[in-house]
Amino acid sequence: MSKHQNTNEFRQQALQVLRIEAEAIAGLADKIDERFDAACLLILECEGRVVVTGMGKSGHIGGKIAATLASTGTPAFFVHPGEASHGDMGMITAKDLVIGISNSGETNEIVTLIPLLKRLGVPLITMTGNVNSALGKAANVILDVGVSEEACPMNLAPTASTTATLAMGDALAVALLNSRGFTKEDFALSHPGGTLGKRLLLTIGDLMHSDDELPVVRSDEKLSAGLMQMTSKGLGMTAVTDAAGVLLGILTDGDLRRAVDRHGDIRNIAISQIMTPGCKTVTADMLAVEAVNILEGNRITGLIVVDEMNRAIGALNVHDLLRAGVM
């Protein structure tokens, strides 16, 4: 640590940065006007994709904006403006729309693309801190993201300006999301690996134990058969059915403990005498998250899956849902 600096100074500098960047974001509120509306309408009318471009720090922000748009219902991707001049311009079609990000509005790599975009007839939305710049003058719509100062003490490193641009991109994405009627289910479809995706997309049929993995016994069998099923299948329960496979009840570890308390020697007792009839059931097409609600609401740890004829076709327990990340 420098002898000229102490931890209190670190904190004061950090607080100064946060204050400047917070003010930069707050200042955007006055710039959400008819131009913002026009930008949203242009994007909604776009038949292709939104192509976001920017150099340096603006490029990093552009990549995040493109990703946010894409995950919230607006097809989008990022193109590096330098690469666009060397072949990647072919990724942009006449049906697309371009969002060009440049704080100065004079970034040469982006300005170079303007004639090509005009030739294709591609609409251009500019996010810039200089509305009178070359990029600003060429744009169909300008989104002013200018800030009074950077958080950098030399007022050089892009800090407050990139934060403001990122916030404007988020505002744009969320406004479009609401306009498109984008739902949690839509979000899950674009995030199938995430927790929300798992909660909203996985069905009970995806997780249940079926066929040879399904513990099942007939109600007229001896308890030893039920114990064998529970032990070999490892679910702590077994479905109890009639000869046609129609579910009559469930036999669980808890049923066994209660039976021992009541009868002592239960080796020769029929399963039908100690099973739980009318147990909670689910169907394979139900969402896994619905099974969570049933388990928690009834304070149980397992469920039998039935078909439309109430025949046992599967089983799952709390551990299956935990492994899948649903609870």
CATH value at residue 61? 3.40.50.10490
- C-alpha 72: how far from chain center: 9
CATH number at residue 220: 3.10.580.10
For residue 227, the SS3 value is helix
194 assigned to some structural domain: no
115-122: average pLDDT? 92
Max mean pLDDT among 41-50, 226-235, 260-269, 294-303 falls in 41-50
pLDDT tens readout for residues 260-317: 777 767 767 888 888 889 899 999 998 888 888 899 999 998 999 999 999 999 999 9
What is the average pLDDT across 118-131?
Answer: 95
DSSP class per residue in 101-165: EESSS--HHHHTTHHHHHHHT--EEEEES-TTSHHHHH-SEEEE---S--SSTTS-SSSHHHHHH
Are 218 and 279 in a shared domain? Answer: yes
- pLDDT tier, 224 (very low <50, low <70, confident <90, very high otherwise): confident
Domain boundary among 118, 151, 182: 182
Q: Are residues 315 and 274 in the same domain?
A: yes
Q: How many domains does the chain have?
A: 2
Asked which of 63-72, 121-130, 286-295 is least confident by mean pLDDT, the reply is: 286-295
Residues 220 and 118 in one domain: no
Instruction: Specify whether 24 is located in the same domain as 141.
Output: yes
Instruction: State which residues form the domain around 22.
Output: 7-182
141 inside domain: yes
Same-domain check for residues 122 and 232: no
Residue 76 three-state SS: strand
Same domain for 226 and 101 = no
- 191 is a domain residue: no
User: Tell me, what's the pLDDT at 87?
Assistant: 77
- Is 149 a residue whose pLDDT tops 90? yes
Least confidently predicted of 5-14, 44-53, 172-181, 305-314? 5-14
SS3 of 50, please?
strand
According to DSSP, the residues that pair with 306 across neighbouring strands are: 312
193 belongs to a structural domain: no
78 is a domain residue: yes
Going by pLDDT thresholds of 50, 70 and 90, the confidence category of residue 192 is low
